[in-house]
Structure 1
Amino acid sequence: SPHVVVIALGAGCLALRAMTAQSYTPSDTTMSDQTITLNGHDLTIEQIVNVARHGAQVQLSADARQRELDNYGLLLEATAEGVSVYWFNRGTGDNRETVLFSGDALSAENKPRVERLQSESFQRGARAGFGPEVMEEEIVRAMMVVRANAMTYNAPSPQLSQMLLDLLNRRVTPVVQSRGTVGEGDLAQLSNVAGVMVGAGEAYYRGVRTPALKALAQAGLQPIQPFAADDNALTSSNAYATGQAALIVYDARRALEWADLIYAMDLNGMNSSITPLSTVVQLDRPGGWLNWDAARVLDMIKGSYLFDADPKRIIQDPESLRASSIRQAAAWEEWSALRDAVLFQANSSDHNPAVHVGLGPQDSWELATAQMMKYYVKGGPHSHGQHGYIVSNANWDPYPLANKLENFVIALANMDVAVMLRIERFRNTFFTVVAPSDVLPHWVRHDSGYMPSDLQQEIQSLMNPVAPFGSALETTVEDLQAQTRIKAQRARQAVSVTADLLGLDLLEASLWLDVRRIQDPKRHFGSAATGAWLAFRKVVPLEGDPAKGSTESKQMSAAAFVKGTPASMFYAGTSPPGVGE
């Protein structure tokens, strides 16, 4: 009945509102006085983070802006020469052979039609995707800066290119839906950005939600008139996944730095044998990342009492402590592979079609064949005489990035099981020789109980890869999916939960440093371990609450410390191979 339909629709609306009920997390503006120049070649992870999280400004290099203009001119010239261009004068998906218009896009007949088609497409963009909404401004800004950088290889109109920069610099952040992409081009999320550009939908202006048209006005901007193939130029990209992957790489590095430092503290706390890190052992297994991590942890405990003779020190620790450097080195290696995949993705074109000015039939044998010459633009007034090719492709298939996200989560889970187990081993006096209560008479048990196992099981649930799958979408034209939305979300969750688990490890390690120092006040733990321990104790004291009036547990305070305090404050050491200081 009509009443049933109304009730069902009402329930659906309530459900969608519930999905977006969480509060919005705006980015800060601590780096808004910095300007990052995008050239399409060398955008770094740190620069993406600075724009996404800290409000750094962006501009195009002169070469990048000219490359866009040249590509745009070639695109317009293609229509004048009668060259078929996917998603411009021809349709998209299963409409790829549909002729949208014939002849010069700038002709008196075609120009109004092209403007109308583009305006309608951008307007529809505000309704694309499916909730819940993205509630972290940094994710949307990361997507936008990645797209602005890689779009320099494509053919946006000048007004589209500039508006994307303006939205970032004026801090107009579109409301973006989190779902609706299968990983072969994040069309829905970038379409949400398109909507805001023409004043449709909603946006956050400096963190405050408002209708898009009002947000643009507050920022001193006017809606654009998109043209040519602007909907294609903006949305044909995996920038939503790539931007999130950049944030993952940044946060994961901080987590892995803490994993090494807390491991150094654990070794001190357990009164461990340091032989697994020694040159003797490393020479037997000459692996770059294995040796690098062992040397790094060894350097962290340099000067520690662990290098002094101690008749009470057992000959061999539990395997979770002995093998931690190996597991951490393996995680670092997969982190490095993920970092490289993200940088490749962010600094190359994942766009369809490919536009390349300057190539001619003489440059490669296949370019002179009849098939390729169908897509050759000879050059004319719109391209200022420049020639080139515009061809369809599969560049938006986001590999190797999609694989590397999953590989890293698997490596992280294999590291985290060692972290969880070494926390548990501190409860066994066979390894510790003494119990905390033997040394700390007023010690109140802070046992993390089931928490380490619970967190490890959560991480374990994220490590199984998403099964490769293909749905024959768009009447079987688009029949591959990469699921990068799911893979990136899982990886982000795995990194966050790993930091939580490391917080519990830090709490345990710090307790045992207290024990070892009280056992013998002359003991040293190495400058890095000592610095982290003392800083942590200022926030989470051995006895009493973490802070006066705090309702937060010591475990949660420890996790917050790990997430909010870089381990590099206590140990600079050497950066991972291939990474600057």
Structure 2
Amino acid sequence: MNRTLLLNGTNLTLERLFDVVYLRRRVEIDPAILPGLHACRQVLFDLAASGTPVYGLNHGVGWNKDREFSPEFFEQYNRNLINSHSLGIAPYCSVEEVRAMLCIRLNTALCCRTGISPEILTMYQEFLNRGIHPRVLRRGAVGEGDVSTLPLIGQTVIGLGEAEYCGKIVPSIEALCAEGMKPAVLGPKDGLSIASSNAQGESLAALLVKETQDLLKLGNAVYCMSLEGLNGGLQPLGRLVNELRGLEGQICCAADCRRYLKGSYLAQSDPNRALQDPLSYRCGAAVHGAVWDALEFVKKYLVIQINHTDDNPCILTEEGTISVSPNFETTTLSLGVDMLAAALCHMSRNIVNRLLKIVDPSFTGLPRFLTPHEVKTIGYSTIQKSFAALDAENRWLSNTCSTDFTPFAGGIEDHASNLPLAATRTLQIVDNLRYMLGIEAMHAAQATDMRGGVTLGKVSGAVKARLRETIPYLSEDRNLSLDIAAAYECIRSGDLLRALEAADS
């Protein structure tokens, strides 16, 4: 990925963002945007010269909005704002999360509504291109402008704090000097423009989208393997019956499953096959479709947010003035992330119920707990406690975050969306589901092996074959925590997904 991405405030797709985050695609501020940036900045200078009261320009922020200061105090005040608002709590964000923050904030500032110095935006551009990643603490923001965590990016902008550079944690000034860069001198409203955006919550939501997309694709394949282990029916995956329901996610997931199961022995009639399977099997693609639908909602509003201003106050260049703004509100997106968490919890519940059925002879006709020797070995018995514990954690994590906030700043800031928290806990659900899908894949592989020589689907068979390269058939009892960890790593590393995509190409 060598082609430079020209950012202009309106053209940041999720795919382009992922290129910048994961593939280190270079970015550049579109030169056509520069006149707008300078015009926006000039509005600030004009307002400052006229003495017009402006929040974050010549007046304080939050409860201190009634504190006025002189133009001579601009640099010191903005440094004070960055320092006083650097309030995050461990752990630190990953490099990928910080890259997403930098790219998102750069793009929203290019909407030419913030008034930030173009030189600072050039620093954001160069941080991305040169691999200077400010150390940003993950916790402490409430999703109403991430003003307690994003100032840690400002620390690096002014040469303070730490950064990840060339694989090491170094003082920010050392990274800047190594690249021939100088710390910024902050001017009017620069501190507030650095601190006040939703780039952290949006970066976490963006990475959540990427991880959920990958999880859902693999989840469909593992579900197909389970269906083959059960000797389940294919009718609920039919094209027409799903299209008649009209739900896009259900239609798409069922189509994926039909493709993954192409060539499977399940297409052949079997008098021993149940007329109708338990709902966790029969409705597996439909429940995954609910995850797909929730994900599409999040993607829709996330793309809107990362391509529009979220600044308060908002500069209206057309009118030569500045307006108090509600555009930092992220409630719609936070509600979508809450919905996605709930949908993933339904996916988690279905995995548990399928795992309970696939070890039950009354559903499968196979030995209890998929043991190869009903007297000599125990098989997949006590592992039920492990996946039940993960599912319980997912149910706890799926509780609504967006409605749980506390008024502060003297009662002025009396609403919040908790977007960073909502996205963080949903990322944890996704990670728990990697373990659960790994456990389901272990069971499905064992069950299909016990069926003896059955032909699996083109894709489901390829995923099983890749799993078997790491986890052998359970012929005798062994330390299953090692198998669980190995299955999880096959999923987390992308090995199973790559096998899926190769077979599906």
Q: TM-score, normalised by structure 2?
A: 0.91
State the 1:123 CA deviation.
4.6
State the 1:150 CA deviation.
0.7
State the 1:527 CA deviation.
0.7
Q: Hey, what does 2:108 align to over in structure 1?
A: 150
Q: Sequence identity, in percent? A: 25
Give the distance between the partners of 2:243 and 2:47, measured in 1 at CA: 61
Q: Is the contact between residue 249 and residue 288 of structure 2 (CA under 8 Å) also seen in structure 1?
A: no
1:49 matched to 2:18: yes
Give the distance between the partners of 1:119 and 1:424, measured in 2 at CA: 58
Q: Is the contact between residue 267 and residue 321 of structure 1 (CA under 8 Å) also seen in structure 2?
A: yes
1:560 matched to 2:489: yes
1:138 matched to 2:96: yes
Q: How does 1:480-559 map to 2 (within 5 A)?
A: 480-516=415-451, 518=452, 521=453, 523-542=454-473, 553-559=482-488
Q: What SS is found at the alignment partner of 1:400?
A: helix
Q: How does 1:74-473 map to 2 (within 5 A)?
A: 74-101=43-70, 110=71, 112-124=72-84, 128-153=86-111, 154-279=114-239, 281-282=241-242, 284-357=244-317, 359=318, 376-377=319-320, 389-435=321-367, 436-437=370-371, 445-447=379-381, 448-466=383-401, 468-469=403-404, 471-473=406-408
Identify if the C-alpha distance between structure 1 residues 137 and 438 changes in structure 2 by more than 3 Å, giving closer, same or farther: closer
Amino acid corresponding to residue 329 of structure 2 in structure 1: D
Q: Deviations over 1:322-350 (max 9, x none)?
A: 11111111111001111112211211111
Amino acid corresponding to residue 350 of structure 2 in structure 1: A
Give the distance between the partners of 2:390 and 2:265, measured in 1 at CA: 32
Give the distance between the partners of 1:98 and 1:197, measured in 2 at CA: 25
Gaps of 5+ in 1: 1-30, 102-109, 360-375, 378-388, 576-580
Q: Deviations over 1:367-402 (max 9, x none)?
A: xxxxxxxxx42xxxxxxxxxxx31111111112111
Q: What SS is found at the alignment partner of 2:316?
A: strand
Amino acid corresponding to residue 207 of structure 2 in structure 1: L
Question: Which protein is bigger by CA-based radius of gyration?
Answer: 1
Identify if the C-alpha distance between structure 1 residues 470 and 513 changes in structure 2 by more than 3 Å, giving closer, same or farther: closer
Identify if the C-alpha distance between structure 1 residues 258 and 442 changes in structure 2 by more than 3 Å, giving closer, same or farther: farther
Give the distance between the partners of 1:306 and 1:150, measured in 2 at CA: 51
State the 1:256 CA deviation.
0.5
State the 1:316 CA deviation.
2.0
Give the distance between the partners of 1:443 and 1:539, measured in 2 at CA: 21
State the 1:225 CA deviation.
0.7
Q: What SS is found at the alignment partner of 1:355?
A: strand
Amino acid corresponding to residue 100 of structure 2 in structure 1: A
Amino acid corresponding to residue 107 of structure 2 in structure 1: N
Amino acid corresponding to residue 528 of structure 1 in structure 2: V
Give the paired residue count.
500
Give the distance between the partners of 1:440 and 1:57, measured in 2 at CA: 59
Identify if the C-alpha distance between structure 1 residues 37 and 134 changes in structure 2 by more than 3 Å, giving closer, same or farther: same
State the 1:179 CA deviation.
2.8
1:36 matched to 2:5: yes
Q: Hey, what does 1:369 align to over in structure 2?
A: none
Amino acid corresponding to residue 91 of structure 1 in structure 2: G
Amino acid corresponding to residue 467 of structure 2 in structure 1: F
Amino acid corresponding to residue 275 of structure 1 in structure 2: Q
Q: Deviations over 1:428-453 (max 9, x none)?
A: 11111122456999988355331211
Give the distance between the partners of 1:566 and 1:122, measured in 2 at CA: 42
1:569 matched to 2:498: yes
Give the distance between the partners of 1:458 and 1:472, measured in 2 at CA: 29
Q: Is the contact between residue 439 and residue 515 of structure 1 (CA under 8 Å) also seen in structure 2?
A: no
Identify if the C-alpha distance between structure 1 residues 480 and 330 changes in structure 2 by more than 3 Å, giving closer, same or farther: same
Give the distance between the partners of 1:53 and 1:216, measured in 2 at CA: 22
Q: What SS is found at the alignment partner of 1:423?
A: helix
Identify if the C-alpha distance between structure 1 residues 571 and 214 changes in structure 2 by more than 3 Å, giving closer, same or farther: closer
Q: Is the contact between residue 273 and residue 314 of structure 1 (CA under 8 Å) also seen in structure 2?
A: yes
State the 1:352 CA deviation.
0.7
State the 1:278 CA deviation.
2.3
State the 1:403 CA deviation.
0.5
Q: TM-score, normalised by structure 1?
A: 0.80
Give the distance between the partners of 1:568 and 1:560, measured in 2 at CA: 12
Q: Is the contact between residue 173 and residue 204 of structure 1 (CA under 8 Å) also seen in structure 2?
A: yes
Give the distance between the partners of 1:37 and 1:439, measured in 2 at CA: 63
